[in-house]
Structure 1
Amino acid sequence: MAKNNKELEVVRNLDLQRYMGRWYEIASFPSFFQPKDGVDTRATYTLRDDGTVHVLNETWSSGKRNSIEGTAYKANPNSDEAKLKVKFYVPPFLPIIPVVGDYWVLYIDDDYQYVLIGEPRRKYLWILCRQTHVDDEIYNSLVQKAKDEGYDVSKLHKTPQHDPPPEEQGPQDTKGIWWFKSIFGK
């Protein structure tokens, strides 16, 4: 197993334009800011004129659509490394507490169809794909890459995805309430 003090390898010269659009969460490390019973989790990225990225994260929990929006930007504009920062306001309806996280692209295929995302402390990991499902062979190779980078891949949890994915809108949860619930464990 790779040592955790080793610097993570990240993608260089990520083509942000090609990276935009919708990605489905295939697997992730469970995190406090996502509902534990979340399904059909996905992220939609839109490039803004100023070079920052609008982020829309959605998940369905108890039949309701939960969403949160944020902004992603390059941690160092002069670097060719795919190290981004993502800023969300918690809770979304009181934009006073910005939560900033690291979003490092560890691997992406040449066709920009699947991606491995992590961050330097190795507390979070995501496998995303343009489709709702990914071949086992590809999935296993991404898991192996994460392992090679020092991740404890036993914590990976596969995200249930439906085919076809849910419509754009479902019954909307009271925006942001699930953040409170998840943070305070209610």
Structure 2
Amino acid sequence: MAQKAKEMVVVKGLELGRYMGRWYEIASFPSRFQPRDGENTRATYTLRDDGIVDVLNETWSLGKRSYIQGTAYKADPNSDEAKLKVKFYVPPFLPIIPVTGDYWVLFIDDDYQYALIGQPSRNYLWILCRTPHMDESVYNELVQKAVEEGYDVNKLHKTPQADPPPEGNQAPEDTKGVWWFKSLIGK
């Protein structure tokens, strides 16, 4: 049984500049903000001059590229803990409702090649890597860290990743946000 009372250990002293760039989703807890059949899911982070991070999340579903853009920023600028807030506007095709969530970096390796991301409710979890595929021993190590932080890792779903990954401009886009509606009705 996962212990809910334990306070999560969060990375301290995260170097945001080194964290920027593309990360591939190796596994995650399914989220209503992503298509259930999503593949090649990835996030690209770009640090702006004002310290805000531009976020681009992409996924492919039925051969179409879906994406949502947002921003991330430190929850407490005076803290050295890697606790970020992310803000997206939904639905993606009619961006009117701001949705803000927690993005806590629970683990990152010294070379910034793989990371474990969670948030305080433990309803969301992501295993990210700089490449589309992760060594199984590294994956198992990150899963074990998630267990130690009180996550129910039975909910982890591995994300199919193509090698090489698709280029963003080579796929038709799901401009109607159909996946967003589908995800809301559970299809």
TM superposition score category, shorter chain reference: over 0.9
Does residue 176 of structure 1 match 2:174?
no
1:130-145 matches, cutoff 5 A: 130-145=130-145
Residue identity in the other structure for 1:107: F
**Unaligned residue ranges in structure 2 (runs of 5+):** none
Residue identity in the other structure for 1:88: F
Tell me how far apart the structure 1 counterparts of residues 146 and 12 of structure 2 sit (CA, whole Å): 17
Secondary structure of the residue aligned to 1:25 is strand
Tell me how far apart the structure 1 counterparts of residues 185 and 155 of structure 2 sit (CA, whole Å): 22
User: Partner of 2:77 in structure 1?
Assistant: 77
Shift of residue 67, structure 1, vs aligned partner: 0.3
Shift of residue 13, structure 1, vs aligned partner: 0.7
Q: Deviations over 1:19-51 (max 9, x none)?
A: 000000000001111101100000000001110
Secondary structure of the residue aligned to 1:183 is helix
Does residue 185 of structure 1 match 2:157?
no
Kept in 2: contact 1:68–1:176 (CA 8 A):
no
User: Partner of 2:119 in structure 1?
Assistant: 119
Shift of residue 185, structure 1, vs aligned partner: 3.4
Percent identical pairs in the alignment equals 76
Shift of residue 176, structure 1, vs aligned partner: 2.9
Tell me how far apart the structure 2 counterparts of residues 173 and 8 of structure 1 sit (CA, whole Å): 37
Q: Deviations over 1:41-63 (max 9, x none)?
A: 00000001110100000000000
Q: Deviations over 1:122-154 (max 9, x none)?
A: 000000000001111100000000000000001
Instruction: Say how many residue pairs are matched.
Output: 186
User: Partner of 2:104 in structure 1?
Assistant: 104
Kept in 2: contact 1:47–1:54 (CA 8 A):
yes
Runs of 4+ in 1 over 6 A off after TM superposition: none
User: Partner of 1:29 in structure 2?
Assistant: 29
Tell me how far apart the structure 1 counterparts of residues 100 and 140 of structure 2 sit (CA, whole Å): 30
Q: Closer, same or farther in 2 for the Cα pair 1:71/1:15, shift >3 Å? A: same
Length-normalised TM-score, structure 1: 0.96
Shift of residue 167, structure 1, vs aligned partner: 1.2
Segment drifting more, 7-16 vs 169-178: 169-178
Segment drifting more, 9-18 vs 161-170: 161-170
Aligned-residue CA RMSD (Å):
1.2
